[in-house]
């Protein structure tokens, strides 16, 4: 998948969603009852199976690059992995942390996101837990940052 508009954080989220869906089996992401991978655009309140991955669009920042109307754009997205199983909380957290690091390695295999960005990388991983509905899920969150250059329209 290539971005429609290279400075779109939503396109970046769709790229990451497709990347995870295409690699869900190798990563160990669960399938939904209909057989599709449990990977979602946007964070979810209802986590149907685990492990589940949610790609949560983070936004973008734009800075003037010095040339008239040329800008440097930084795009942000978050990937949240949820785990909930009967058994050891430590094992659940370890599984979530291992999965998020496998996702990090997958993202780093294509720094240019199919030639859509100048550069991308995982800039942070946070481990912890999140409450969804009536359950406390072990989770890990990964932050992906990408950089692009965009010429804004001019009326000259």
Where residue 147 falls among pLDDT bands split at 50, 70, 90? very high
Q: Is residue 22 part of a domain?
A: yes
User: Which residues constitute the domain of residue 72?
Assistant: 9-151
Q: Is residue 1 part of a domain?
A: no
Q: Is residue 60 part of a domain?
A: yes
Those residues with Cβ within 8 angstroms of residue 35's Cβ, 6 or more apart along the chain or in another chain: none
Where residue 130 falls among pLDDT bands split at 50, 70, 90? confident
Q: Average pLDDT in the 91-95 region?
A: 88
CA distances from 135 to 40, 49, 125, 132, 146 (A): 19, 12, 22, 6, 33
Q: What is the pLDDT of residues 1-54, one digit of tens each?
A: 677 777 899 999 999 999 999 999 999 999 999 999 999 999 999 999 999 999
Q: Is residue 156 part of a domain?
A: no
Q: Is residue 2 part of a domain?
A: no
**Tokens 């400075």 -> residue:** 7
Q: Is residue 62 part of a domain?
A: yes
Say which CATH number the domain at 78 has. Answer: 3.30.70.1700
pLDDT value of position 86: 66
Q: Is residue 71 part of a domain?
A: yes
pLDDT value of position 156: 60
Q: What is the pLDDT of residues 107-127, one digit of tens each?
A: 999 999 999 999 999 999 999
**Total structural domains in the chain?**
1
Helix runs in the chain, H state only: 9-22, 24-27, 89-108
Q: Is residue 33 part of a domain?
A: yes
pLDDT tops 90 at residue 98 = yes
Q: What is the pLDDT of residues 64-88, one digit of tens each?
A: 987 788 999 999 999 999 998 767 7
Kindly tell me the sign of the dihedral angle through the C-alpha atoms of 97, 103, 105, 111: negative
């Amino acid at each position: 998948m290539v971005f429609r508009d290279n400075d779109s954080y939503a396109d970046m989220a769709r790229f990451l969603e497709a990347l995870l869906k295409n690699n869900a089996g190798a990563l160990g992401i669960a399938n939904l009852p209909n057989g599709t991978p449990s990977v979602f655009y946007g964070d979810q309140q209802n986590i149907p199976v685990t492990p589940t991955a949610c790609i949560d669009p983070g936004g973008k920042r734009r800075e003037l690059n010095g040339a008239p109307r040329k800008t440097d754009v930084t795009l942000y997205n978050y990937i949240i992995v949820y785990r909930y199983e009967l058994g050891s909380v430590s094992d659940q957290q370890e599984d979530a942390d291992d999965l998020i690091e496998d996702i990090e390695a997958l993202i780093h295999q294509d720094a240019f996101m199919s030639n859509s960005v100048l550069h991308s990388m995982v800039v942070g991983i946070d481990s912890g837990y999140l409450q969804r509905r009536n359950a406390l899920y072990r989770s890990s969150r990964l932050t992906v940052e990408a950089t692009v250059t965009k010429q804004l329209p001019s009326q000259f």
